[in-house]
Structure 1
Amino acid sequence: MTKNHFPAAEAETVDAGGGLTRKVGAYNDNLMCVEVSFETGTVAALHSHPHEQITYVVSGRFEFTVGEATYTVGPGDSLYKEPNIVHGATCLEAGVLIDMFTPHREDFL
């Protein structure tokens, strides 16, 4: 049976350390939605993973490195990260991101 409803009140907030928290929203084997909150100055270190990822900026300002490019982004902006590309972010102003992954991130469950 597929789960279709993921109430925010039931989602666990995970402290990922260094001013970063995340909350997993809806997901199945092929897709996952994650809300990520950053405090000003938080750095998401450069990393890569085999998942495709789209990041949507809900609030705040961030400097993202994706591959060889660096982007300063704010509310309403989005970024695409292909599988295995090195990427990371620095939070310039506290905010919230929505990350979508395909397939889902088993390590977040």
Structure 2
Amino acid sequence: MIYRIEDIEAKELLPGFSGRFVHGENSTLAFWDIKEGAALPAHSHHHEQTSQVLEGRFELTVNGESRIYEPGTVVVIPSHAEHSGRALTDCKILDTFCPAREEYK
């Protein structure tokens, strides 16, 4: 199946986090538009997650270690790792989750 990202209906799952989702059998791609100052509360899940900053600056804390991510950086968040963050600027981020995020469908 082929998708055009701009044709996918956006869903605001958290204040300031608007996502467009593509689901495969075993993975989910999440294309996020995040408003400056939006906060991601600390959480964990059984999914392995990779996050790539496409635009902007995002501070991410994984297992207590905080770093600032900018375009061209990718972070792998292991299953069950606690993570949180906040957008330092407006951001575009691509997350990949394995297995698929059923609750995002």
TM-score, with length taken from structure 1: 0.91
Q: What count of residue pairs does the alignment treat as equivalent?
A: 105
How large is the RMSD of aligned CA atoms in angstroms?
A: 1.1
Amino acid at match of 2:29: C
Distance 1:37 1:11 in 2: 13
The structure that is strand-richer by fraction is: 1
Q: CA deviation at 1:17?
A: 3.3
- Greater CA deviation, 35-44 or 13-22? 13-22
Structure 2 alignment gaps of length 5 or more: none
Bigger Rg, structure 1 or 2: 1
Q: Is 1:19 paired with 2:16?
A: yes
User: Aligned match of 1:84 in 77, 80, 83?
Assistant: 80
Structure 1 alignment gaps of length 5 or more: none
TM-score, with length taken from structure 2: 0.94
Q: CA deviation at 1:42?
A: 0.3
% identical aligned pairs:
25
The aligned residue for residue 70 of structure 1 is 66
